[in-house]
Structure 1
Amino acid sequence: MHDIGLKIALIGVMGMGAQWLAWRLRLPAIVLLLLAGVLAGPATGFVNPTEDFGTIYRPLVSLAVAIILFEGGLTLNFKEISETSTAVRRIIIIGGPMVWVMTALSAHYIGGLSWPTAVVLGAILVVTGPTVITPLLRQAQLAARPASLLKWEAIVNDPIGALFAVVAFEVVLVLIGQHQGGGLAYVVAAAFVVAVAGGYLAARAIHWAFVRGVVPEFLKAPILLATVLLAYALTNLVLEEAGLLTVTVMGIVLANTRIASLAEMRRFKETITVFLVSGIFILLTASLTVEDFLSLDWRAVLFVGSVLFVVRPVAIMTATVGSGATLAERTLSSWIAPRGVVAVAVSGLFGGALADAGIADANRMVSFTFAVVVTTIVLHGFTLGPLASLLNLKSADKPGLLIAGGPRWAIDLARKLRDMDVPVMIADPNWNHIAEARLSEIPVFYGDILSEEAHHSIDPKRFSTLIAVTDNDAYNSLVCTDFAPELGRSHVYQLGRGAEQSKRMSLNFTLGGRPLTEDGVDFRTLRERHWQGWTFQATKLSDEFDYDAYLKSRAGETIVLLWVKPSGKIVFAAGATGTPSVDDRVVSFTPARDRRAASSNETTSQEKA
Structure 2
Amino acid sequence: MIFENISIASGNGAVASSLLLIFAIGAAAQWLGWRLKVPAILLLLAGGFLAGPVFQVLHIDEVFGELLFPIVSGAVAIILFEGGLTLRFHELKGKAGAVIFRLVSVGVLVSWLVIAWLAHMVLGFPLLLAALLGALLTVTGPTVIGPMLRTIRPKGKVRSIAKWEGILIDPVGVVLAVLIFEVFLAGQVAEAPMLHMLVGAVKTLVIGVVFTGIAGGLVLLLVKRRMLPDYLQNTVVLALLLLAFGASNYLQEESGLVTATLFGIFLANQSIFEVRHIVEFKENLQILLISFLFVVLAARVEPEAVSLLGWQSAVFLIGVIVLARPMAVMISTAFSNLKWSERSLLMMLAPRGIVAVALTSVFVLKLDQIGVPQAQEFLALTLLVVVGTVVFYGLLAAPVATRLGLSNLDPQGVIFVGAHDWSIKLASALHDANVPVLMLDSNRMNIDRARKAGLLGEVGNVFADEFIHELDFSNMGHALALTANDEVNAFARSALSHSLERADTYHLVATKQDNPQGGKRRRMNPLFAEGATFRYFQNAFINGAKVRMAVIDEGSGMDSIRPAKDAHPIPLFCIEPDGTVQIFSAKTEIKPKPGATIIYLETSALPPAPQKETNPPMKNA
Same fold, TM-score > 0.5, yes or no: yes
SS at match of 1:80: helix
Query: Aligned equivalents of 1:496 and 1:153: distance in 2?
Result: 39
Contact 2:152 2:408 in 1 (8 A): no
> Structure 2 vs 1, CA of residues 404 and 315 (structure 1 numbering), >3 Å: closer, same or farther?
closer
1:77 to 88, 92, 105: 88
**Residue in 2 aligned with 1:302?**
315
Corresponding position: 1:101 with 2:113: yes
Query: Aligned equivalents of 1:45 and 1:452: distance in 2?
Result: 45
> Structure 2 vs 1, CA of residues 153 and 115 (structure 1 numbering), >3 Å: closer, same or farther?
same
**Residue in 2 aligned with 1:424?**
437
1:367 to 380, 383, 387: 380
Query: Aligned equivalents of 2:452 and 2:302: distance in 1?
Result: 65
SS at match of 2:400: helix
> Structure 2 vs 1, CA of residues 524 and 156 (structure 1 numbering), >3 Å: closer, same or farther?
closer
Corresponding position: 1:315 with 2:328: yes
Contact 1:467 1:516 in 2 (8 A): no
**Residue in 2 aligned with 1:599?**
none
Residue 377 of structure 1: CA displacement? 1.2
**Residue in 2 aligned with 1:112?**
124
Corresponding position: 1:434 with 2:447: yes
Residue 220 of structure 1: CA displacement? 0.8
Residue 67 of structure 1: CA displacement? 1.1
User: Which is further off, 420-429 or 480-489?
Assistant: 480-489
Amino acid at match of 1:164: L
Extract unaligned runs of 5+ from structure 2: 3-12, 606-621
**Residue in 2 aligned with 1:254?**
267
Cα RMSD for the two superposed structures = 3.4
**Residue in 2 aligned with 1:53?**
64
Residue 592 of structure 1: CA displacement? 8.3
Contact 1:400 1:463 in 2 (8 A): yes
Amino acid at match of 1:8: L
Query: Aligned equivalents of 1:508 and 1:89: distance in 2?
Result: 54
**Residue in 1 aligned with 2:611?**
none
Contact 1:170 1:179 in 2 (8 A): no
User: Which is further off, 518-527 or 405-414?
Assistant: 518-527
Contact 1:535 1:592 in 2 (8 A): no
> Structure 2 vs 1, CA of residues 184 and 238 (structure 1 numbering), >3 Å: closer, same or farther?
farther
Amino acid at match of 2:321: L
**Residue in 2 aligned with 1:559?**
570
Residue 413 of structure 1: CA displacement? 0.9
Q: Which deviations, in whole Å up to 9, do the C-alpha atoms of 1:296-332 show, x marking residues without a partner?
A: 1111111111111112211231133235554334333
Residue 21 of structure 1: CA displacement? 1.8
1:189 to 191, 202, 205: 202
Contact 2:212 2:263 in 1 (8 A): yes
**Residue in 2 aligned with 1:546?**
557
Query: Aligned equivalents of 1:207 and 1:589: distance in 2?
Result: 52
Q: Which deviations, in whole Å up to 9, do the C-alpha atoms of 1:425-459 show, x marking residues without a partner?
A: 22234444333321222011235443566345435
Contact 2:441 2:447 in 1 (8 A): yes
SS at match of 1:214: coil
Residue 542 of structure 1: CA displacement? 5.6
Query: Aligned equivalents of 2:586 and 2:209: distance in 1?
Result: 49
**Residue in 2 aligned with 1:526?**
537
Contact 2:143 2:353 in 1 (8 A): yes
Query: Aligned equivalents of 1:240 and 1:151: distance in 2?
Result: 31
Query: Aligned equivalents of 1:86 and 1:184: distance in 2?
Result: 32
> Structure 2 vs 1, CA of residues 570 and 47 (structure 1 numbering), >3 Å: closer, same or farther?
farther
Q: TM-score, normalised by structure 2?
A: 0.84
Query: Aligned equivalents of 2:536 and 2:353: distance in 1?
Result: 54
Amino acid at match of 1:206: V
**Residue in 2 aligned with 1:579?**
590
User: Which is further off, 374-383 or 161-170?
Assistant: 161-170
Query: Aligned equivalents of 2:163 and 2:510: distance in 1?
Result: 41
Query: Aligned equivalents of 1:358 and 1:424: distance in 2?
Result: 61
Query: Aligned equivalents of 1:447 and 1:57: distance in 2?
Result: 47
**Residue in 1 aligned with 2:100?**
88
> Structure 2 vs 1, CA of residues 368 and 457 (structure 1 numbering), >3 Å: closer, same or farther?
closer
Structural mapping, 1:127-142, within 5 Å: 127-142=139-154
Structural mapping, 1:30-45, within 5 Å: 30-45=41-56
Corresponding position: 1:410 with 2:423: yes
Amino acid at match of 2:30: Q
> Structure 2 vs 1, CA of residues 71 and 100 (structure 1 numbering), >3 Å: closer, same or farther?
same
**Residue in 1 aligned with 2:238?**
225
SS at match of 1:101: helix
Q: TM-score, normalised by structure 1?
A: 0.86
**Residue in 1 aligned with 2:28?**
17
Residue 117 of structure 1: CA displacement? 3.0
> Structure 2 vs 1, CA of residues 401 and 59 (structure 1 numbering), >3 Å: closer, same or farther?
same
> Structure 2 vs 1, CA of residues 509 and 241 (structure 1 numbering), >3 Å: closer, same or farther?
farther
Query: Aligned equivalents of 1:13 and 1:6: distance in 2?
Result: 10
Residue 546 of structure 1: CA displacement? 2.1
Contact 1:409 1:526 in 2 (8 A): yes
**Residue in 2 aligned with 1:380?**
393
Query: Aligned equivalents of 1:144 and 1:202: distance in 2?
Result: 39
Contact 1:560 1:587 in 2 (8 A): yes
SS at match of 1:398: coil
Q: Which deviations, in whole Å up to 9, do the C-alpha atoms of 1:96-146 show, x marking residues without a partner?
A: 222222222211221233334323222222222433223222333234743
Residue 273 of structure 1: CA displacement? 0.6
> Structure 2 vs 1, CA of residues 575 and 60 (structure 1 numbering), >3 Å: closer, same or farther?
farther
**Residue in 1 aligned with 2:612?**
none
1:242 to 255, 264, 267: 255
**Residue in 1 aligned with 2:482?**
469
> Structure 2 vs 1, CA of residues 396 and 424 (structure 1 numbering), >3 Å: closer, same or farther?
farther
Residue 286 of structure 1: CA displacement? 1.2
Residue 84 of structure 1: CA displacement? 3.1
Residue 524 of structure 1: CA displacement? 4.3
Query: Aligned equivalents of 1:61 and 1:204: distance in 2?
Result: 27
Amino acid at match of 2:281: F
SS at match of 1:46: coil
SS at match of 2:304: helix
SS at match of 2:104: helix
Corresponding position: 1:293 with 2:306: yes
SS at match of 2:571: strand
Structural mapping, 1:498-513, within 5 Å: 498=511, 501=514
Q: Which deviations, in whole Å up to 9, do the C-alpha atoms of 1:28-62 show, x marking residues without a partner?
A: 22122222222222221111222221111122111
SS at match of 1:403: strand
SS at match of 2:588: coil
> Structure 2 vs 1, CA of residues 333 and 193 (structure 1 numbering), >3 Å: closer, same or farther?
farther
**Residue in 2 aligned with 1:596?**
none
Structural mapping, 1:483-494, within 5 Å: 491-494=504-507
Amino acid at match of 1:203: G
Contact 1:401 1:465 in 2 (8 A): yes
User: Which is further off, 422-431 or 49-58?
Assistant: 422-431
Extract unaligned runs of 5+ from structure 1: 594-609
SS at match of 1:444: strand
Amino acid at match of 2:234: A
Amino acid at match of 1:105: W
Q: Which deviations, in whole Å up to 9, do the C-alpha atoms of 1:270-314 show, x marking residues without a partner?
A: 111111111211111111122122111111111111111112211
Query: Aligned equivalents of 1:497 and 1:26: distance in 2?
Result: 35
SS at match of 1:335: coil
The alignment covers a number of residue pairs equal to 589
Residue 399 of structure 1: CA displacement? 4.8
SS at match of 1:236: helix
